[in-house]
Amino acid sequence: MSKSEIKLPIFNDEELAKELNIDQVAVQDAGQDLPESNSQDLSSLERKIQARISHFYKSSIEKCGDEILEQRIGNTRALRQQNGHAGQISTRRQQLEAVYAKDKEKIKNLHEKHTKNKSNLSFFKKDHNLISPANLKSQSAKIISILIVFGMFIFEISVNTSFLAPAVEGGIIGGLALASVVSFINIVTSFLVGRFVITNLSHKKRSKNNVSSLVLLIYVPLVIYINFAIGVFRSLSQKAVETFSTDALRAAAEQAAWPFAYISENTIESTGLIIIGLLFAVIAILDGYFFDEPYPGYAKITRDADKSSKDFENAKSLCFDTLYELQEAGNQQFLKLKEARINANIEWGNAIDAVQRAFKDYEEWVKDLNKSGNILLNQYRSKNKSFRASQAPQYFDEEFDFEFEQNPRNRFLSLSSENLDDTEKRNIMDKTEKLITDEYIEATKEINNFYDDILQDYQNLIERLN
């Protein structure tokens, strides 16, 4: 049974008979010829029976749940009759207008930025006589370039240290220090020259060409000199070590200051040292030159244009997605309200069924309760008649009226208007369901027309911007 059903409990007359000791009290009253033969009033025990039956009736009515059923009917009626789509339409329109206005402003700003960056790129290419697109490198390609430089740097330090350690003071530590300086010049400096000096040789501005040319005039001889000096020093110092002469080592260092006069003294290891140094310097220069688009500024202005174009395209797509998502969410919200109202209509019908059952059950329940009360009274009167000496009162032969309300419409006055027959209930439910469906269709049509207007306006905006 539903919690919103009216529940009327069954009266247990046998339990009350035992509690009041009806048979024993009846015999005792009969021994005293009570009640008197001409009495019209109930005996003490009969009044107790009347009071207990009346109390049971009153308490049962108070706890039967008619207020809960009434509330259930009121709630379902309110939901099934209330057209909440008007409020939904207003809310969805405001939300859509706010989102669209924000996205439209964002798209306009991004288009303005995209147009500006695109114009800047076009002007830059014309101003610098650039025809081919920028040769942009990805982050992974840049990482590989950095790893190449790092690998060459570590390798050259290791090789130079192994070659120089026996020939310089301090052994491995001294060789490592000298090798680190040479490797830094050969690898790191060469990479920077390739990235920031050679790339400026083709720059439009003559000042940048001249500065880059000057740096190269200093850098190239310096790298060649340092690598030859290290190679010659390695050969001369190795021979000096073999003589165990400190003066010979000092002389080797002085002679290596002008290495080209002593190239003939080079060993195979020293020549390899020179070749490795110069080869790595060239590789580092090329790695720096091709690290990204070589022409200065071309990579940045191209990336700015590409990013603004991508942001603009993403914003256009995102706005479409957002509008369609809002439309779908709105339709789902309307559908949920419709389904809730349909369910409320069904629940209202179930509540009316509960009223029908309650009214029918109440009539039977009152009859049974009145009957149970008279059974208890007759049990007392029958036993009393059997043991009394005088004639029993005349009312003993009359059925007692407990004066319970027989008509459920009067008992449950607030529910009386809800006691409909099945035909009337079905007609109301059918009309209400049709009304709910019609209102849903009309509301969905109205909001979707509004969505279509927004989408058309947005498509027109995109066409203008493109």
* Confidence bin at 167 (pLDDT 50/70/90): low
pLDDT for residue 75 is more than 70:
yes
Q: Would you state the pLDDT for residue 252? A: 56
* Confidence bin at 273 (pLDDT 50/70/90): confident
Q: Are residues 284 and 317 in the same domain?
A: no
Q: Are residues 262 and 186 in the same domain?
A: yes
Q: Would you say residue 143 lies in a domain? A: yes
Number of domains present in the structure of the chain: 2
Q: Are residues 271 and 191 in the same domain?
A: yes
Q: How many CB atoms lie within 10 A of CB 123?
A: 11
Question: How buried is residue 227: exposed, middle or buried, by Cβ count under 10 Å (0-12/13-18/19+)?
Answer: buried
Q: Are residues 346 and 271 in the same domain?
A: no
8 Å CB contact between 180 and 199: no
pLDDT for residue 39 is more than 50:
yes
Q: Are residues 343 and 440 in the same domain?
A: yes
Q: Are residues 248 and 175 in the same domain?
A: yes
Q: Would you say residue 59 lies in a domain? A: yes
Q: Would you state the pLDDT for residue 243? A: 52
Domain stops at, among 234, 259, 292: 292
Q: Are residues 321 and 459 in the same domain?
A: yes
Q: Would you state the pLDDT for residue 23? A: 93
Q: Would you state the pLDDT for residue 2? A: 47
CB-based contacts of 24, cutoff 8 Å, min separation 6 = none
Residue 70 dihedral angles phi and psi, to the nearest 5°: -65, -40
- Residue type for position 347: E
Domain stops at, among 264, 292, 320: 292
Query: Which residue's entry shows tokens 């060649």?
Result: 224
Q: Are residues 334 and 204 in the same domain?
A: no
What residue numbers bound the domain in which 367 lies? Answer: 13-89+312-465
Q: Would you say residue 454 lies in a domain? A: yes
Q: Would you say residue 218 lies in a domain? A: yes
Give the pLDDT confidence of 300-350 residue by residue, as tens digits.
Answer: 999 999 999 999 999 999 998 998 998 899 899 999 999 999 999 999 999
Q: What is the radius of gyration, based on Cα positions, of the chain? A: 54
Give the pLDDT confidence of 128-152 residue by residue, as tens digits.
Answer: 888 899 999 999 999 999 999 999 9
Q: Are residues 343 and 419 in the same domain?
A: yes
Q: Are residues 285 and 145 in the same domain?
A: yes
pLDDT for residue 249 is more than 60:
no
Q: Would you say residue 239 lies in a domain? A: yes
Q: Is the dihedral of CA 300, 306, 312, 317 positive or negative?
A: negative
Domain stops at, among 249, 264, 292: 292
8 Å CB contact between 278 and 183: no
Q: Across residues 103-111, what is the average pLDDT? A: 92
pLDDT for residue 431 is more than 70:
yes
